[in-house]
Amino acid sequence: MKKLIYIIFAFIICTGCEDVIEVDIPNGEPRLVIDAFFEKYVFEDPVTVEGRIKLTLTSPFFSNSVPPVSDATVFITNLNDNTVLNFEESSEAGVYIPTTTTFELPETNIDYELTVIHNNETYKATTQLIPTVPIDDIKQGDRVLIDGDETEILITFTDDSTRDDFYLLDFDFNLYGTIEDRFVENDGTFSYFYEDMIAGQDLTVKLLGVDEQFFNYMNIIIEQSDPDSGGPFQVPPASLRGNIINTTNRDNFAFGYFNLSEADRFPFTIEE
């Protein structure tokens, strides 16, 4: 019945409307979008840090392109000893990487300040490296949802009961979820259901430690994201602001977030 309604509605639109209606959608001034995410893999040997700083501008509603920002000054300052890590634009427009091949590994309980200077305005954000715990195991389950063709995986990890933790789960393929440790009792096992998976398909699940502010930010952005549009780390919804502050002109705020997370990753292959 629902499909019939859709068909009838589409037929009315196609046959009953002859006038062309032009909708004038106002376009505001482009704003800077700063996506600065770094993951420290503390349970691997050697310990490594992966991530990048990506600078773009917001674009009109119907635009299919996201303008990169290639003329910015970017650096991160360790506020404990005032050491500075400078960044330069990589071969990918708008993506900035450290100028040194040795990434200064961030440590917990230290404030790190991101600075971006663009169009003579200075944007700053401060955060700390948030700890996580290792993934104990991942297994494939046998349950399904409504459609009956989903693939279940079971992720198990042991929460650290000595602190209040917030977690971001990266299920690969631009799929994310959040967990607050008050819903975890020591050894926690959680289900996740994939669609359109095939036997032999490889994936990597990551468990990241995040603070409460970023936890809430991700909850909103996951709800408003389309997995087919590039995931939540593309341009966020216009109403959602992160922890970036324009110290030159607060009215010309930026979108995006500066986040440092300890992380663990677990490769897995889908079974038959």
Structure pTM? Answer: 0.83
* pLDDT higher at 42 or 2: 42
**% of residues, the chain, pLDDT over 90:** 68
Tokens, residue 204: 């990597």
Per DSSP, the three-state class of 98 is: strand
What region does 151 belong to: left with phi over 0, alpha with psi -120 to 50, or beta? beta
Q: What is the Rg, in whole angstroms, of the alpha carbon atoms belonging to the chain?
A: 22
CA 12/CA 99 separation, integer angstroms? 59
Report, as an integer, the average pLDDT of 167-195: 88
Asked if pLDDT for residue 230 goes beyond 70, the answer is: no
Confidence bin at 102 (pLDDT 50/70/90)? low
pLDDT higher than 50, residue 11: no
pLDDT of res. 232: 53
Q: Reduce the DSSP state of residue 212 to 3 states and report it.
A: helix
Ordered by start, the domain boundaries in the chain are: 32-130+228-263
Model confidence pLDDT, tens digit, residues 189-221? 889 999 999 999 999 999 999 999 999 999 998
* Winning range, highest mean pLDDT, from 176-180, 207-211, 222-226: 207-211
> What is the overall mean pLDDT for the chain?
85
**Using CA atoms in the order 57, 59, 63, 64, what is the torsion angle rounded to 10 degrees?**
20
9/207: higher pLDDT: 207
Q: What is the pLDDT of residues 112-139, one digit of tens each?
A: 999 999 999 999 999 999 999 999 999 9
What type of residue sits at position 217?
A: Y
Tens digits of residue pLDDT in 108-119:
999 999 999 999
Sign of CA dihedral 130, 74, 96, 76: negative
> Does residue 233 have a pLDDT over 80?
no
* pLDDT score for 112: 97
pLDDT beyond 50 at 9 = no
